[in-house]
Every structure is written in structure tokens, then in C-alpha cells.
């Protein structure tokens, strides 16, 4: 039997061919497109979607066609990757079966379905589903071929239609209304616009914020040679009251312990990575779009699992086998993990059956951002298999001249998962105290401060907020943020909207306020996910 295998990219086609042929696949080229062949298999990679949804050509003149007409027009799909289409027509001529081996998600399903009308009629079509491009996963997928999920593909296509009609009609409307045409057109989108509105609203809150003065009172105390701070528990907005408390506390030499509590707590490792939590952590050293691009490259090279997932609960995985692979580059850390292996990996609150949480599946010599992203994924994985850290948490209430002050302390008693995933815990020592005892006062300080405005979004915090508000999907949020940067709507690591962003959001609020609200787009996402 002769089979044609369709992959999403050339890099994944090459790797899958290498796995299935045990390294014996030969490379060919047709219409400028590489393919790989061996023992009855031909494997070819696409470049993502080979078709683009657009309006008919006669609707391309912005000044002649009303934006409202676009709502009634039936968009058409056009082949944009003609060489790839010709290669598929040619390569599928004498095969008995076609296997779609694109990414197993909504977009991947549609990418695979788009090539069907290029194939000979009545040819058998099957689906290979996998979450990592490793020998075990690929061989298992090809031994257990499934059917194409046309409903999943249709849900991706529905998004394309909605996003095109919504985005194109409103983009033309606002660009024409503001006389911003050509390369200076103003872009509007179903997810993009409410996301931009969130950023603009946050900036308004920052600009409109009026800081208020308040005072804090801190007492430096000492017991058994250990110094610690006790603070007045509230911000004091009345200067006279702050002065009054400060003056009477300053006269005292000691305070009385009225409450003391010490607890030994289990500090659980963070849950496995889903896409949102991964991008949030990676945003410390890379933009979300760059982090996702690198993660996809690591996936296609068989080093990490599929990076687009909502899952934070591991299925049954060969944990020991993965650790043994990691031992080649993390010998000390893996030895530590085996010593402190927990009985069951940590599980998060989100579960889905399509793909496991992001985790390492192979190792290779890497550098630059690829090394950093892999290190983040590998260390998070090792942490999820490690025992809890043990921490000593202490709280105290101390009465000084009739006023209550509070002190706290936290110390790591037993470090386990933090040995492999260094999340900082700010340790603070609080000595053993006894209720009723007097504790010596060393110094009393009164400090003036101001209330702070809300923080600007970072890419990481914005992605978390978008998920919370139902804006976009795990696969699109980083792309939306990237578009906002590209279109000069936002700038900076701490995201600041440009004057153009303010103008766009204000214009939309006047003419179509619902476009700036997350409710409608999140409702559409829910409906399309059914």
C-alpha cells in the first residue's frame, strides 16, 4: 500500500519521515517543495494554511464599497500556496491512502481538511493524532489511525468567517470615518479590539489616578539576639493620627505579645504548564509571540510536547523515562528528583483530553532562547514530580501602648522542588515568642508614602487577563498581542497604548461600544467551542 502523509511544516515532515523510516528516508523535490519517501510512504510538509479566506476581488476597493455590504457577501477561499497545492496533486496521483498528520487541534484539523479537494476522488483519508514528535508517539499514532474530525475543522472555519467579516467591515468603517487609509488604516478585530480596550482603560485608570498620602509605623524589636519588625496593620491616612500613635509608641521600651502562632506548612510545587502559564513565565525573558515560536520549534524537533494546550493534569506518561533523558543535561537535578520523587505528580485545576501539559520529551544541545525555553519547561516538569517544600510560617500580634502591631516570618525548613525550579521565597525570621511576654523595642519609625495606581499590563499578565475574560484562545492570544505591537497600538515591556490606540477605542465606543466589550466575543468563543 502506498501512503501520502501530510504534515503542517517541512521540519515536522522531515522528522516524522526519519522516525518512520528508521533514518532511511530519501529526500525529493517537486515544484520547489521538499518531500521524503521510503517503503511505500511519501511525506510532505505544508506551510500552515494553503488557502486564505477573503472577499471576492470586486469588493477590494474601500472607497467604492460600503463596509455594510461586506456583511452580506459570501467570502471565498483562495489557494495562496500554489506550489504546495501542485505538489500535493502530483504526489497523491498514485497513492492508496492519505494520512493527515498536522497538529492535533482546531487549526491543524482545518489545515488538513483544506487539502482534501486537491486529492483524487474517493481516496481513503485517515488521521494521525499525537502530542509529541517522538518515536513512541509517532509510531503509536500511525498504528492507531483515526478519522478526520470535520466538526472540529468547521469550528476553525467558522472563526475564520466571523473574524474576516467582523474585522474587515469594522476596519473599513473606522478607517473611512477617520480618513486613515492606505498603510495608515486603523485595524479592528473581534478579539483585538476588546483587548486593546482593556489596555486603554488601564492607562486611563493610571492617568486619572490621584495618589493619597498615608503613613506607616514600623517598630524594630529584638529577642534572643534576633531582630524583627512589627508594623501597624493599616495604612494611616490621617497625619495627626499617625503622629499621635508614633509619639506614644516611641515612649515605650517594650511591647507585650498578645498572640503568637507557628505552623509548619507544605508548599506544593506549581502545577504543570498549560499555554497560558507557560507564556506568563516565559514573558520574563521573551515576548509571547517569540516564546511560542521557539516552543513550536522545540516541539517540531521532538524536544517538548505540543505547546498549545489548556491541560494542567498529566495523563499516564513515562515519567522515569523522561527523567532518564533529562539526566544527560541535568545530572544533579535529576538525581535530586529521584531522591524526592512524590507518589503522584502535581495536578492543576484545568483538564482536557486533547493534549497533555507542556513537558520535555527529548534532549539536544541548544543555545540562546531555545535553551532558555527548554530549561523553563524541563525545570517546571521536574518540579511537578518533586516533593513539597516544607516552610515554617509564624505570625505575632504585639501590643504597644494600647496599639496592636503585627509581625510575621517565613523560613524554608526543607527545600525540595525549589532545588530544581528556583522560585524565590522571601524569607523573614521571626523568633520564638511566648504570649504574655515583653519584647524589647529598639527603634520606632514613621514613614510617609503614597497610594499607587494600577500596574500596567505586561504580556504575561495580559495573556492571563485575556484568558480570564474569555478573549481569544490558547493558540491566538500571543498573536493578538503581537499584532497590537506591529500596528503601533501599543509599545514597551510594560504595555503603554499609543495615541492611535486611544483614538481607535474612543471611536469604537462612540459608534459601536459592544465591539470594545469582552462579553460578545467571549460568548462567541463559548458557542464555537461547543
Question: CATH number for the domain including 198?
Answer: 1.10.460.10
Whether 168 is in a domain gets the answer no
Structural domain includes residue 155: no
Look up cell 499590563; give the residue.
Answer: 457
CA dist 109 and 154 (Å) reads 9
Q: What's this model's pTM, rounded to 2 decimal places?
A: 0.89
Provide φ and ψ at 216, rounded to 5°: -120, 140
| Residue 334 sits in the same domain as residue 446 | no
**246 is known as an active-site residue:** no
Q: What is the grid cell recorded at 341? A: 520523587
**Would you state the pLDDT for residue 71?**
74
Domain count within the chain: 4
Q: Are 524 and 162 in contact (CB under 8 A)?
A: yes
Find the helix packing angle between 331-339 and 368-384, rounded to 10°: 10
CA distance 477 to 5: 30
Q: Is residue 475 part of a domain?
A: yes
CA atoms within 13 A on the CB side of 120: 12
Instruction: Check if the beta carbon of residue 8 is closer than 8 Å to that of residue 104.
Output: no
pLDDT at 510: 80
Asked if residue 49 is part of any domain, the answer here is yes
Rounded-to-integer distance, Cα 186 and Cα 188, Å:
7
How many of the other CB atoms lie within 10 Å of CB of 42? Answer: 23
Rounded Cα–Cα distance for residues 74 and 165 (Å): 9
User: Grid coordinates 530519501 are at which residue?
Assistant: 26
Q: Calculate ∠ Cα 24-26-30, nearest 5°.
A: 160
Which CATH number fits the domain that encloses residue 92? 3.40.50.140
For the record, the C-alpha cell of 95 comes out as 497513492
- Answer yes or no: do 297 and 357 share one domain: yes
CA distance 458 to 493: 6
Q: Are residues 438 and 462 in the same domain?
A: no
- Identify which of 414, 206, 233, 340 has the alpha carbon closest to the alpha carbon of residue 198: 206
CATH of the domain at 295: 1.10.290.10
Pairing status of strand 76-79 against strand 33-38: unpaired
Residues paired with 33 in a beta bridge: 30
| Same domain membership, residue 224 and residue 144 | no
pLDDT of residue 519: 82
Whether residue 293 is found in the same domain as residue 368: yes
Same-domain pairing of 239 and 191: no
Q: Mean pLDDT in each 10-residue stretch from start to end of the chain (530 residues)?
A: 96 96 96 96 96 82 67 86 96 96 94 95 95 95 96 91 80 64 68 95 97 98 97 97 97 97 97 96 95 96 95 94 97 97 94 91 96 98 98 98 97 97 94 97 97 96 94 92 94 95 88 80 68
82 domain residue, yes or no:
yes
133 and 202 in a single domain? The answer is no
CA neighbours closer than 13 Å in the CB half-sphere of residue 372:
15
Claim to verify: residue 13 and residue 143 sit in the same structural domain: yes
Structural domain for 137, as ranges: 3-67+74-148
Q: What residues does 397 pair with on adjacent strands?
A: 259, 406
CB 199 within 8 A of CB 495: yes
CB 278 within 8 A of CB 378: no
DSSP collapsed to 3 states, 345-411: CCCCCCCCCCCCCECECCCCCCCHHHHHHHHHHHHHHHHHCECCEEEEEEEEEEEECCEEEEEEEEE
Among 385, 408, 426, residue at a domain's last position: 385
Is 177 a member of any domain?
Answer: no
Going by C-alpha positions, the residue among 108, 99, 96, 105 that lies closest to residue 144 is 99
Q: Is residue 496 in a domain?
A: yes
Hey, which residues does 52 pair with through a beta bridge?
Answer: 78
* Nearest alpha-carbon partner for 524 in 279, 197, 166, 72: 166
Strand partners, 447: 216
Pair 32, 130 in one domain: yes
Same domain for 460 and 446? no
Which triple of cell numbers denotes residue 429?
A: 525570621
Residues 42 and 16 in one domain: yes
Q: Is there a single domain that holds both residue 10 and residue 113? A: yes
User: pLDDT at position 104, please?
Assistant: 93
- Final residue belonging to a domain, choices 450, 478, 493: 450
Beta strand 41-45 with 3-7: parallel, antiparallel or unpaired?
Answer: parallel
Catalytic residue among 36, 41, 306, 457: 306
Distance of CA 54 to the CA centre of its chain: 29
| Position 164 in a domain | no
Amino acid at each position: 500500500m502506498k501512503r501520502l502523509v501530510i504534515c503542517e511544516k517541512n521540519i515536522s515532515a522531515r522528522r516524522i519521515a526519519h522516525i518512520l523510516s528508521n533514518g532511511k528516508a530519501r529526500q525529493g523535490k517537486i515544484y520547489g517543495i521538499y518531500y521524503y519517501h521510503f517503503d511505500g510512504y511519501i511525506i510532505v510538509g505544508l506551510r500552515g494554511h494553503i488557502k486564505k479566506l477573503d472577499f471576492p476581488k470586486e469588493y477590494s476597493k474601500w472607497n467604492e464599497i460600503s463596509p455594510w455590504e461586506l456583511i452580506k457577501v459570501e467570502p471565498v477561499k483562495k489557494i495562496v500556496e500554489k506550489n504546495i497545492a501542485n505538489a500535493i496533486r502530483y504526489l497523491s496521483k498514485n497513492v492508496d491512502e492519505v494520512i493527515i498528520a498536522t497538529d492535533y487541534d482546531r487549526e491543524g484539523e482545518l489545515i488538513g481538511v483544506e487539502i482534501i479537494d486537491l486529492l483524487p476522488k474517493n481516496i481513503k483519508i485517515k488521521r494521525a493524532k499525537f502530542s509529541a514528535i517522538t518515536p513512541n508517539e509517532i509510531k503509536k499514532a500511525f498504528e492507531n489511525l483515526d478519522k478526520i474530525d470535520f466538526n472540529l475543522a468547521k469550528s476553525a472555519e467558522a472563526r475564520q468567517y466571523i473574524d474576516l467579516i467582523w474585522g474587515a467591515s469594522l476596519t473599513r468603517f473606522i478607517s473611512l470615518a477617520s480618513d486613515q487609509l492606505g498603510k495608515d488604516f486603523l485595524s479592528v478585530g473581534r478579539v483585538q479590539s476588546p483587548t486593546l480596550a482593556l489596555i486603554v482603560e488601564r492607562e486611563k485608570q493610571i492617568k486619572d489616578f490621584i495618589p493619597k498620602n498615608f503613613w506607616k509605623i514600623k517598630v524594630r524589636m529584638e529577642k534572643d539576639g534576633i531582630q524583627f519588625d512589627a508594623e501597624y496593620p493599616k495604612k494611616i491616612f490621617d497625619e495627626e493620627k499617625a503622629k499621635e500613635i508614633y509619639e506614644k509608641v516611641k515612649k515605650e521600651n517594650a511591647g507585650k505579645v498578645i498572640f503568637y502562632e507557628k505552623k509548619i506548612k507544605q508548599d506544593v510545587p506549581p502545577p504543570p504548564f498549560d499555554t497560558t502559564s507557560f507564556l506568563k513565565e516565559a514573558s520574563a525573558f521573551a515576548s509571547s509571540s517569540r516564546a511560542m515560536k521557539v516552543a513550536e520549534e522545540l516541539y517540531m524537533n521532538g524536544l517538548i510536547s505540543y505547546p498549545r494546550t489548556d491541560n494542567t493534569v498529566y495523563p499516564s506518561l513515562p515519567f522515569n523515562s523522561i527523567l532518564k533523558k533529562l539526566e544527560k543535561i541535568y545530572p544533579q537535578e535529576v538525581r535530586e528528583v529521584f531522591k524526592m520523587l512524590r507518589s503522584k505528580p502535581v495536578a492543576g485545576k484545568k483538564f482536557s483530553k486533547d493534549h497533555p501539559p507542556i513537558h520535555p520529551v527529548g534532549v539536544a544541545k541548544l543555545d540562546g532562547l531555545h535553551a532558555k525555553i527548554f530549561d523553563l519547561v524541563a525545570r517546571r516538569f521536574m518540579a511537578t514530580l518533586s516533593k513539597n517544600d516544607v516552610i515554617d510560617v509564624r505570625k505575632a500580634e504585639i501590643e504597644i501602648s494600647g496599639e496592636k502591631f503585627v509581625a510575621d516570618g517565613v523560613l524554608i525548613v526543607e527545600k525540595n522542588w525549589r532545588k530544581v525550579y528556583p522560585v524565590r521565597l522571601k524569607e523573614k525570621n521571626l523568633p520564638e515568642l511566648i504570649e504574655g511576654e515583653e519584647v524589647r523595642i529598639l527603634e520606632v519609625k514613621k514613614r510617609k508614602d503614597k497610594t499607587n495606581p494600577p500596574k500596567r499590563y505586561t504580556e504575561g499578565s495580559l495573556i492571563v487577563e485575556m484568558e480570564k475574560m474569555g478573549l481569544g484562545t490558547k493558540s491566538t492570544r500571543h498573536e493578538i498581542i503581537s499584532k497590537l505591537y506591529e500596528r503601533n497600538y501599543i509599545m514597551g515591556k510594560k504595555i503603554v497604548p499609543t495615541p492611535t490606540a486611544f483614538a481607535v477605542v474612543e471611536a469604537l465606543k462612540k459608534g459601536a461600544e459592544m465591539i470594545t466589550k469582552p462579553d460578545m466575543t467571549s460568548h462567541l468563543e463559548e458557542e464555537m467551542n461547543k
